[in-house]
Amino acid sequence: MNDDQTVALIQQAIGSAAHGDIDTAARALESLGQASDNNRMYGVCCAIATTGTHTLRLLYGSQAPTADNGAMWATTELTPGAFAADPAEAFAMRFLVAYSNGDTDTCLALFETALKAGGEQYVSSVCALLTAVAKLVRLALDEKAAGRLPA
């Protein structure tokens, strides 16, 4: 699989998931997984997180944390133990936040941990990242349609 094909499948996965076409999103992500080595899949996760980062900045506008305003994105468990109960969701939130903050060392460590967990846990983690970003994209589309995106 070349880079153009990879990009097209990533876009298809995110777009399909954001529009509720889970079957098409799953097929695109499955194709990416089957045709990719670990390095390419790390790149896929970073590409998905790039869309998430862009979408967060779109949603928050000038209130988005940046290095210029000395702020960072963060995540927290609203229910104690929630991340331990759902490691895939924890991976997705932590990866997206780390990537949005430019912390690629943490992103790589999270990816390697998911990879070492193996099989179902690894697949669930990548799927959870796609799902989290697709939800953000859907929210941004809805907010834009309603004229509620910040300046």
Those residues with Cβ within 8 angstroms of residue 20's Cβ, 6 or more apart along the chain or in another chain = none
Q: Is the dihedral of CA 9, 14, 74, 79 positive or negative?
A: negative
Which residue matches tokens 């070492």? 116
Over residues 51-103, the pLDDT tens digits come to 999 999 999 999 999 888 889 999 988 888 988 999 999 999 999 999 999 99
Give yes or no for residue 17 having a pLDDT over 70. Answer: yes
Please give the residue that has the higher pLDDT: either 119 or 21.
21
Give yes or no for residue 25 having a pLDDT over 70. Answer: yes
pLDDT score at 68: 86
